[in-house]
Amino acid sequence: MAFSRISIVLFCIVIAVKANLIKQQDNISVLEEYIQSKKSEVNHRYKLHYHVTPPVGWLNDPNGFSYYKGEYHLFYQYYPYDSKWGPMHWGHVSSPDLVEWKQLPTALVPEEEMCFSGSAIADGDDFVLMYTGRINLEDDLFYESQYLAYSNDGIVFKKYEGNPVLASPPNNSPHFRDPKIWKHEDYWYVVIGSNTEDERGRVLLYRSLDMKTWDFLSVIGESNGDMGYMWECPDLFELDGKFVFFFSPQGMEPQGNRYKNIHQTGYIIGSFDYETFEFVPEVDFKEIDFGHDFYASQTMEWDGKRFIIAWFNSWEVPYPEGEDGWTGAMTMVREINLVGDTIIQKPLESMLKLRERNIWTGDLKSMESVEFEKTGEVIINGDLSQKIELLLEGSDGGESAWLRWDPEVGKVVVDRGVAEDVRQMEWVPINSTSWRLFLDASSIELFCGEGEVVFSSRVYPDGNWRLTNLSTQNLDVEAYHLRRSIDE
């Protein structure tokens, strides 16, 4: 009799789990029909051609940047029903080479919990998502916990019935989000963003044998009071013999030309011990990108290479594309390496496949212009003992940007034409003295030299791009039109 009761209970549990999965898939099917029906209403004037954007609606942080069964996967914070932030889903794209991207069905839809940021990892044949479930209460109160979801095909995901697997941090802060998971020897490890009782950002480290039961190990890093009130999107990994601790501190005050964005993304180089669980910094926090729009980065490693991608926007800024039925983009994927105590970012070799035709080779004389369509790649060489100034503008107006080099102060400048909208950084070339500039319909990415200084900024021109040499010197320019690589 006892066995029969147990069997009935187990049968009921299995039926309930299957019913919940069917309900989730029904919700996703309805959502995908909605997305398809709304795509024709999107205005493409600013829609990017080789950067990941949402098919419709809102996109922010990259999630689950990973490799599974022969393909790269990228998920993202997604609200399909409006071009502004809302209850978070997980959008999903895949790629064979991190350049050609295919849109896949929405991976996670909110139920009682909103599906906030997290990471993904392959565990044998299973593809595991670890994400933050946020539950809003009354009076603007909320709490955040860590959830799991599983897939055996990389497309359909089932939420773990034992969620949450990590209910709260040791101090019970409601801010407890953005798990980044990895495996070392027999254990799974995860770093999670949080803060202290007196609102100083910090990052927590846990480990587990099965990803379901987690033990708190240590505080990897914590603000001393001038590094912001919350540390989001942490990441800890080994790179070229050192450990790199990435995070996005919110609430840092500007210091001269540094920390000019509302929130920052950067890293600390140091050492980490898997016996003591202690991270020891060796250099101070450095920004990874010096442009206007680079936040919430996530990295992944495959085939001995470490790649990075980030949200190509920022919080609390205008989003001109919002009135067109979509908002938000991802940066290009870059390969990163460590040179001394600085991370360099390089465009992927596979980006060369996007060069559709050469549109300029040779001298671009002072006050001479070259016009692109919506996309372009430009390699620029000049005499760094003299000033360099380039104007980027739309053929039909809209927003503009100026790129400058001043040898007297040794700084590269990206200026969007408003006093508070200037970003600049000292540049000491380590080898190459070229600039490599990538243009898309509403974005610029400037790589200086070997990628030791990079600027990523959204700019919204009308019509085609026009580049004009405002320098007094001629510049050696090689320019290409880039084809579309996003399957919409």
The rounded mean pLDDT for the chain is 94
- Domains parsed from the chain with CATH numbers: 10-347 (2.115.10.20), 358-487 (2.60.120.560)
CB atoms within 10 A of CB 277: 16
Q: Is the peptide bond before 318 cis (omega within 30 degrees of 0)?
A: no
CB atoms within 10 A of CB 97: 15
| pLDDT interval class at 359 (50, 70, 90) | very high
What lies within 8 Å, CB to CB, of 200 at 6+ separation is: 222, 223, 224, 225, 227, 228, 229
Name the pTM for this structure.
Answer: 0.94
Is residue 12's pLDDT more than 80?
Answer: no
Is residue 14's pLDDT more than 70?
Answer: no
| pLDDT interval class at 437 (50, 70, 90) | very high
Residue whose structure tokens are 């040499």: 469
pLDDT of residue 419: 72
d(CA 191, CA 245): 10
pLDDT of residue 21: 46
Q: How far is CA 163 from each of CA 133, 156, 179, rounded to the nearest angstrom?
A: 9, 18, 14
pLDDT of residue 13: 37
| pLDDT interval class at 323 (50, 70, 90) | very high
| pLDDT interval class at 25 (50, 70, 90) | low
Is residue 185's pLDDT more than 90?
Answer: yes
Catalytic-labelled residue, pool 26, 61, 215, 383: 61
User: For 274-339, where are the E strands, in sequence order?
Assistant: 278-281, 286-287, 295-302, 305-311, 326-327, 334-339
d(CA 425, CA 443): 19
Q: Looking at 237-295, list the stretches that DSSP marks H as alpha helix, in order from N- to C-terminal side.
A: none
DSSP helix/strand/coil, 154: coil
pLDDT of residue 420: 76
| pLDDT interval class at 256 (50, 70, 90) | confident
pLDDT of residue 139: 86
| pLDDT interval class at 140 (50, 70, 90) | confident
Is residue 470's pLDDT more than 50?
Answer: yes
The stretch 22-38 carries a mean pLDDT of 82
Q: For the ranges 2-6, 306-310, 401-405, 407-411, which has the lowest average pLDDT?
A: 2-6
| pLDDT interval class at 18 (50, 70, 90) | very low
The stretch 156-179 carries a mean pLDDT of 97
d(CA 190, CA 218): 11
Q: For the ranges 160-174, 323-337, 418-432, which has the lowest average pLDDT?
A: 418-432
**Is 61 annotated as catalytic?**
yes
pLDDT of residue 257: 85
Provide DSSP, 193-239.
Answer: EEE-TTS-EEEEEEEESSSSS-EEEEEEEE--SSS-SEEEEEEEEEE
For residue 39, how many C-alpha atoms fall within 13 Å in the half-sphere facing its CB?
12
